[in-house]
Amino acid sequence: MLAAHQQSIRWLQGVLIASATLPAMLFAYASWQGYNTTKNVAERQIAQSRDVLTEHALKVFEAVNRSIAETNEIIRDMSDAQIAQNAERLHNRLEKIADESSQIKSLWIFDRSGRAIVNSLDYPAPPIDFSDRDYFKAHVDRDIGTYVGDVLVPRPPYGGAPFFGVSRRRSSPDGSFTGVIQVSVLPEYFEGFYAKIGRDPGSYYSLIRQDGLLVARFPKLNRQASLPPQGDLRKAMQANPEEGTLSLVSKVDGLERTVSYLKLPDLPLYVVAGRDAAAVRAEWLAQVRGHLLFGLPTTAALIFVIALALRRTRRLYDEEGRRQAAEEALKQSQRLEALGQLTGGVAHDFNNLLMVIGGSAKRLERSERDPKQLRSLQMIEAAVQKGESLTKKLLSFSRRRTLSPQVIDLGACVESLRGVLAQSVTGDIEFEVKLPSQPVAVKIDPTELEIALINLTLNARDAMPDGGKILITVERVNSSRDSLPADLRGRFAAVSVLDTGTGISEEIRERIFEPFFTTKPVDKGTGLGLSQVYGFVRQAQGAVTVASEVGRGSRVIMYLPVTDALPERPSSAVVRDPGKLEGIRVLLVEDNPDVAMIATDYLEQCGCSVVRAENAEKALETLNGRNDINLVLSDIAMPGMSGLELARVVRDHHPEIGIVLATGYSDKASRAVEEGFRLIEKPYSLDVMRQSLKAAVNAQKTEACLPTGEITPGKSSPSAAHSSPPQTGASGPPA
Ligand SMILES: Nc1ncnc2c1ncn2[C@@H]1O[C@H](COP(=O)(O)OP(=O)(O)OP(=O)(O)O)[C@@H](O)[C@H]1O
Ligand SMILES: [Mg+2]
């Protein structure tokens, strides 16, 4: 199940990563493709524009050439004098020709000295010398065909936009120079056309003379400019004089662009079309933005949905995991509960048996002289003692042990045990205790805590045959802040015992709290240590957890509820002269005849006289019928009226009679302690019984003449009310 969950989570994580990376990769691919497409489209546009420019330029120069040819035809056989004589007529003709072509600003006929004989602008033409103009000088020496001149500013009195001259030589029949026919063409005309077709941002068009002079240019420059001889375009034109395409950074305006040039046939001119790289990039970026505008929200939505699905799935699995863990814990606690009921019942019967066996052995011992028999009786007593210890642990596990809970400072209590615990580990084990700086008050039976801690320390020691470290810590934890076992709410003290030992394998971890579960050799462990720990913390309304990693160690944590009550100080009151029992008449209430027989024997050994009743009802009858009873010793668990009910009646109606209650186990025992009754645990020894009876007798005397300074049974001194410490071997058969 866990593996399937992990696989689903991994799959969803994969989908989440793919939902981010795939669109990113697609986007990168589309952008790259888009860039190439935009570049190709731009190059196609440049080529188309260059064709349009060529067409246009050829048309213009065809018109110019035609005008020159027509003018030449008109004046072919005319001398300069004849031209001058017909100046007016010729002016009108030239004016007409110029007017027909919008690209032609003016038409001129110069004589050999550079003086305009006729022009299309004025009649008569002012006698101005133009012999310094390049379009004139170029033809003086030889016939060079059509000449395209520099861009010039008109010479006064003429004005208007700059122009460039396209001129041809006038020659006499013998070939000698007679003058020049020149057409003034407006670069503006070209630039106007270029502006019209150059609507795309970053468009670039120019008409360039072979020597690099920029005749016309779009975008327009406010100055005369030439391509530098070392510029990329000039170099390309020299290398491939007819046509070419290249990317360059313009030396004129510093912009990066792709250009394509073509030489106009029979003319010293190039048309150049181009596109700024920045404009092409901007176009591409606009496309990319478009992709992003659509792709980003869709991708973000996709990622969001998958992330949400992942989060929900994780939460679902976590919840399922928690539920399964809780179910497991519940099952485990139900199993332990059932085991507890079973063991509790067995322990109860066993206690009575032990009491009978132990008591009888003691009785026989008194009259036996044969050492062999005495040895056997002692062995019986030793076995009874072991049996007692076992039943006590079983009762602890089944939470039926009658405890003497006190409010104690946990830190101080563990500190007082430090020496005992340290002594129980071997020298190759480092032993450390960490305690809180502030007191931590818990209401528990300190003796049970001691048993639990000793067992945990011994378990840790046994798990480290080659040495290691044991760390015992006490700290405050809170369910609102720390992660505690699921069913714990509120403030707790955590007593943790950590070791660096072998660890507990997964297979046995579920079973370690079961009574008699042990992995130790027969005489090394009973398997009741952790059962006692479990019963102890559960009875204290706490919990116990085990974390372990095979080969690295284990950590057992006991959670005990913290109380606001102040820790009780150990009572300084000392029972002075517990009093004498001789002559005391005891009403023994016990339903088990064997136990009653042993108890009677004990009482008689104490010097008491015994009146027996087999149940509470009969005991009441006896009490009502006679007034010589000093003390009632009653079992708690009996059919019909319980010993506790009987004790209450006695206290109310016969306050002069002392009461001692006995119990093997009973859920009423704790109640009895709370109500202040004196209690002895079965199987009890003669000594324990004697102590308890004396204390009870003494208390009765004290009550009769308070104050005495001696302890009276009550909540304030439950340790006095409770007969014996539940330690192994603390109580034994009578001596
Ligand atoms: N700290 C630990 N490291 C490794 N195993 C442990 C540890 N504590 C308990 N165990 C395992 O849990 C089992 C049960 O422990 P538990 O204290 O209940 O009984 P025991 O130690 O075997 O006997 P007993 O405590 O009665 O002497 C042990 O036998 C051991 O296998
Ligand atoms: Mg143990």
Q: How far is the CA of 33 from the centre of ligand 2 (A)?
A: 74
Nearest CA to ligand 1 atom 17: 529
Q: Are 320 and 360 in contact (CB under 8 A)?
A: no
Using a CB cutoff of 5 Å, list residues around ligand 2, an ion. 455, 459, 529
| Ligand whose nearest atom lies closest to the CA of 461 | 1
Nearest CA to ligand 1 atom 1: 460
Q: Are 90 and 83 in contact (CB under 8 A)?
A: yes
The tokens describing 32, both together, are 């790259």
Nearest CA to ligand 1 atom 10: 459
| Ligand whose nearest atom lies closest to the CA of 393 | 1
pLDDT band, very low/low/confident/very high, at 701 (cuts 50, 70, 90) = low
Distance, CA of 68 to CA of 181 (rounded, Å):
7
3-state secondary structure of 358: helix
Q: How far is the CA of 471 from the centre of ligand 2 (A)?
A: 17
**Cβ of residue 518 lying under 6 Å from some atom of ligand 1:** yes
Lowest mean pLDDT among 6-10, 284-288, 396-400, 611-615: 396-400
pLDDT tens-place string over residues 132-162: 999 999 999 988 889 999 999 998 888 888 9
Helix 87-100 and helix 2-74, axial crossing angle in degrees, nearest 10: 160
Residue 573 clears pLDDT 70, i.e. is over it: no
**Cβ of residue 530 lying under 6 Å from some atom of ligand 1:** yes
| Ligand whose nearest atom lies closest to the CA of 465 | 1
Distance, CA of 158 to CA of 149 (rounded, Å):
18
Q: Which of 648, 634, 650, 649 is nearest to 591 (CA)?
A: 634
Which position has the token pair 């069913």? 487
pLDDT tens-place string over residues 621-668: 999 888 889 999 999 888 899 999 999 999 999 988 999 999 876 667
End-to-end CA distance of the chain: 62
Q: How far is the CA of 519 from the centre of ligand 1 (A)?
A: 7
pLDDT band, very low/low/confident/very high, at 732 (cuts 50, 70, 90) = very low
**Cβ of residue 553 lying under 6 Å from some atom of ligand 1:** no
pLDDT band, very low/low/confident/very high, at 484 (cuts 50, 70, 90) = confident
Substitution candidate for ligand 1 out of 389, 518, 544, 728 with most atoms within 8 A of CB: 518
> What pLDDT score was predicted for residue 292?
87
> Does residue 207 or residue 485 have the better pLDDT?
207
**Cβ of residue 679 lying under 6 Å from some atom of ligand 1:** no
The continuous run of DSSP H or E covering 588 comes out as strand 585-589
Residue 708 clears pLDDT 60, i.e. is over it: no
Q: Residue 639, Cβ neighbours under 10 Å: how many?
A: 10
pLDDT tens-place string over residues 513-548: 988 899 998 878 888 899 999 989 988 999 999 999
Distance, CA of 204 to CA of 247 (rounded, Å):
13
Q: Which residues contact 195 (CB under 8 A, 6 or more apart)?
A: 218, 220
**Cβ of residue 457 lying under 6 Å from some atom of ligand 1:** no
Q: How far is the CA of 210 from the centre of ligand 1 (A)?
A: 104
Q: Residue 225, Cβ neighbours under 10 Å: how many?
A: 16
Distance, CA of 651 to CA of 644 (rounded, Å):
10
> What pLDDT score was predicted for residue 727?
26
**Cβ of residue 178 lying under 6 Å from some atom of ligand 1:** no
Q: For the chain, what percent of residues have pLDDT higher than 70?
A: 92
Mean pLDDT over 236-257 rounds to 90
> What pLDDT score was predicted for residue 426?
81
Q: What is the mean pLDDT of the chain?
A: 86
- DSSP line for 291-318: HHHHHHHHHHHHHHHHHHHHHHHHHHHH
Q: What is the CA radius of gyration of the chain?
A: 60
**Cβ of residue 38 lying under 6 Å from some atom of ligand 1:** no
> What pLDDT score was predicted for residue 447?
87
**Cβ of residue 456 lying under 6 Å from some atom of ligand 1:** no
Nearest CA to ligand 1 atom 28: 518
**Cβ of residue 463 lying under 6 Å from some atom of ligand 1:** yes
Q: Which of 735, 719, 729, 633 is nearest to 686 (CA)?
A: 735
Residue 575 clears pLDDT 80, i.e. is over it: no
Distance, CA of 513 to CA of 3 (rounded, Å):
28
**Cβ of residue 470 lying under 6 Å from some atom of ligand 1:** no
pLDDT tens-place string over residues 315-345: 999 899 888 888 887 887 788 778 777 777 7
Q: Are 606 and 690 in contact (CB under 8 A)?
A: yes
Q: Are 596 and 614 in contact (CB under 8 A)?
A: yes
Q: How far is the CA of 449 from the centre of ligand 2 (A)?
A: 14
> What pLDDT score was predicted for residue 1?
63
pTM of the model: 0.55
Q: How far is the CA of 530 from the centre of ligand 2 (A)?
A: 6
Q: For the chain, what percent of residues have pLDDT higher than 90?
A: 48
| Ligand whose nearest atom lies closest to the CA of 498 | 1
Which ligand 1 atom is nearest residue 513's CA? 18
Which ligand 1 atom is nearest residue 526's CA? 26
Assign 3-state DSSP to the chain and report helix, strand, coil percentages, each to 5: 45, 20, 30
Mean pLDDT over 62-74 rounds to 91
pLDDT tens-place string over residues 36-61: 999 999 999 999 999 999 999 999 99
Distance, CA of 259 to CA of 191 (rounded, Å):
17
Residue 717 clears pLDDT 60, i.e. is over it: no
Q: How far is the CA of 550 from the centre of ligand 1 (A)?
A: 14
Substitution candidate for ligand 1 out of 505, 516, 520, 532 with most atoms within 8 A of CB: 520
Substitution candidate for ligand 1 out of 391, 459, 498, 545 with most atoms within 8 A of CB: 459
pLDDT tens-place string over residues 340-380: 777 777 777 788 888 889 888 888 888 888 888 999 999 99
Virtual torsion, Cα 109, 110, 115, 118, nearest 10 deg: -10
Helix 2-74 and helix 187-197, axial crossing angle in degrees, nearest 10: 150
